[in-house]
């Protein structure tokens, strides 16, 4: 399987870094707070982070009491930033694709992943490996692009009125799973669309109990400050899942 | 809470009956087969059906080996048909709203509900009562209108091209939960929209483990016979949930 490493494309990486530096973006306002809210007490936990990127959260997890954190990512660019800016003796960065997770050995109390799952074709393979790497009752907490968002990637996602106001999101091919080409700073970023039922059923079949789903949208407080995020009330950008390993497979 | 009983509106009931008599409609092609596929072996089971309508499935469940079936519905019209056409000593029909489920006593191995949940404002109250009425490890299997369908009820659901071909579904206010007025044979049919995360989290919080989700869409075989259902690939009409009681609440 060809592994996509869009983060080592120079144009992409530059655009991505600028995005992540902005004070208010959808990640910072909605995805990150929701993901952190789903986390258990991290004290003493061994954590694996799938698609750790620049390691910005590895340091957070250590500060929140984690015993050790292993972050894997496929991008040299990302890992170079991680090793420079977010270095700690309790953090290990490994260059590895989630699709090669079968090669990783270890035992973890918590596996996390932020907005990386959509780059992976074989989600089922990943969750089976997450099960193998987790202790019994260990948790898997991840965020992904919402399926109503990924389904029509690469097409115009919104219908706007004559004043440019988004009146509805355009939902197409929700039931047609698989590869999508999308544009994010550069052309041909490949992501994989899966129905929400496929996500949930893959987890259940791989020995997980679903503990919580989240589809974060702006609070009234945030809308007052950033009214442009009203659109998320029409179509959530993110889906977050908290699942617990209840069976070996 | 005012209980809506649209099925006792004459115009609605006539339209509904015609719809259900058609050989090929979305219910018959997608919702019913998927729901039956989720059922366990019914031999010896005590079944409760929430919103049993005309009792067409109560007889099926008995024929499939169920020991007894209790069907509740709020509509006299529906129950009259049920008692006439689908009468059996092992079937009990009760006029009752799901919202009054707290008044029902009994012990069931399986609770089913077909496309009735969206009429209910207090879903949480219903699932807590379902938990109470189920034996431990008993199952709750229900279908509902898909949340991507209920969110913009009452508005135009599709954008069509100049030839009238549906090019995308219009997704609005997915994150705005609550009452919707819709038009189904008659005006002002009230339904309640809930995000998929709310549906799942309500079940988990009420002591259920999610066993399977289904979002049925047409097979290639069905599309060949009924090409008009291609639209469902853009936007599934139905969401089905199979959950197991794993905790008392």
pLDDT at A1 over 50: no
pLDDT at B186 over 60: no
pLDDT of amino acid B181: 80
In sequence order, what are the residues at sequence separation of 6 or more whose Cβ sits closer than 8 angstroms to the Cβ of residue A184?
A: A6, A12, A15
Q: Quote the percentage of chain B above a pLDDT of 70.
A: 89
pLDDT of amino acid B27: 84
Query: Which of A31-40, A176-185, B171-180 is predicted least confidently?
Result: A176-185
ipTM: 0.90
pLDDT tens digits along A151-180: 987 778 899 999 988 999 999 999 999 999
Q: Give the mean model confidence (pLDDT) for residues B61-83.
A: 95
Q: What single-letter DSSP state applies at residue A227?
A: G
Query: Which of A37-41, B52-56, B224-228 is predicted least confidently?
Result: B224-228
Locate the chain B residue with the closest alpha carbon to A202: B212
pLDDT tens digits along A44-77: 999 999 999 999 999 999 999 999 999 999 999 9
Contacts of B234 in chain A (CB under 8 A): 171-175
Residue by residue, DSSP assigns chain B as -PPP-GGGSHHHHHHHHHHHHSSS-HIIIIIHHHHHHH----TT-EEEEET-TT-HHHHHHHHTT-SEEEEEES-HHHHHHHHHHS--TTEEEEE--GGGGGG----EEEEEEES-GGG-S-HHHHHHHHHHHEEEEEEEEEEEE-HHHHTTTTS--EEE-TTS-EEEEEE--TT--EEEEEEESEEEEEEEE--HHHHHHHHHHTTEEEEEEE-----HHHHHH-GGGGHHHHS-SEEEEEEEE-S--
What token pair was written down for B40?
Answer: 């366990």
Query: Please, what is the average pLDDT of chain A?
Result: 90
Q: Which of B174, B204, B236 sits opposite A210 (nearest CB)?
A: B204
pLDDT tens digits along A117-136: 999 999 999 999 999 999 99
pLDDT at B10 over 90: no
Q: Which of A174, A201, A212 sits opposite B212 (nearest CB)?
A: A201
Confidence band, pLDDT 50/70/90 cuts, at residue B217:
confident
pLDDT at A186 over 60: no
Residue B204's φ and ψ, nearest 5 degrees, are -60, -45
Q: What distance in Å separates residue B14's CA from the closest CA in chain A? A: 32
- Helix, coil or strand: residue A140: strand
Closest C-alpha among A174, A177, A157 to residue A232: A157
pLDDT of amino acid B221: 86
pLDDT tens digits along A16-37: 666 556 567 888 888 999 999 9
Contacts of A211 in chain B (CB under 8 A): 204
CB B234 within 8 A of CB B169: yes
Architecture field, domain B6-245: 3-Layer(aba) Sandwich (3.40)
Contacts of A236 in chain B (CB under 8 A): 174-175, 195
**Domain parsing of chain B, residue ranges:** 6-245
pLDDT of amino acid B219: 84
Q: Largest Cα–Cα distance in chain A? A: 56
> Would residue B127 be called left, alpha or beta, if left means φ above 0 and alpha means ψ between -120 and 50 degrees?
alpha
Helix (H) / strand (E) element for A167: namely: strand A166-171
Which CATH homologous superfamily contains domain A6-147+189-245? Vaccinia Virus protein VP39 (3.40.50.150)
Residue-wise burial string across A124-148, b where 16 or more C-beta atoms lie within 10 A, e elsewhere = bbbbbbbbbbbeeebbbbbbbbbbb
Q: Give the residue with greater pLDDT, A12 vs B116.
A: B116
Query: Which of A87-91, A222-226, B171-175 is predicted least confidently?
Result: A222-226
B148/A214 touch (CB, cutoff 8 Å), yes or no:
no
A171/B148 touch (CB, cutoff 8 Å), yes or no:
yes
* Global pTM value: 0.91
Q: Give the mean model confidence (pLDDT) for residues B78-101.
A: 96
B234/A210 touch (CB, cutoff 8 Å), yes or no:
no
């Amino acid at each position: 399987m060809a592994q996509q490493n869009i983060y080592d494309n120079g144009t992409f990486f530059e655009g991505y870094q600028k995005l992540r530096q902005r004070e208010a973006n959808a990640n910072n306002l909605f995805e990150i707070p929701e993901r952190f809210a789903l986390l258990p007490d991290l004290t003493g936990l061994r954590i694996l982070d799938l698609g750790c990127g620049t390691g910005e959260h590895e340091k957070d997890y250590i500060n929140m009491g984690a015993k050790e954190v292993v972050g894997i990512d496929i991008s040299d660019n990302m890992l170079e930033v991680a090793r420079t800016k977010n270095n700690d003796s309790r953090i290990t960065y490994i260059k590895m694709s989630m699709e090669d997770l079968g090669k990783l050995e270890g035992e973890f109390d918590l596996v996390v992943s932020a907005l990386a799952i959509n780059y992976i074709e074989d989600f089922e393979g990943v969750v089976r490996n997450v099960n193998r790497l987790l202790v019994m009752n260990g948790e898997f907490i991840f965020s992904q692009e919402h399926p109503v968002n990924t389904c029509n990637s690469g097409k115009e996602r919104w219908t706007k009125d004559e004043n440019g106001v988004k009146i509805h999101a355009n939902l197409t091919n929700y039931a047609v799973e698989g590869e999508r080409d999308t544009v994010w700073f550069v052309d041909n970023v490949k992501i994989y669309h899966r129905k929400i039922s496929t996500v949930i059923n893959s987890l259940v079949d791989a020995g997980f109990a679903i503990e919580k789903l989240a589809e974060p949208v702006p609070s009234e407080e945030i809308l007052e400050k950033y009214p442009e995020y009203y659109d998320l009330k029409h179509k959530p950008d993110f889906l977050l899942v908290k699942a617990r390993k209840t069976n070996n497979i």
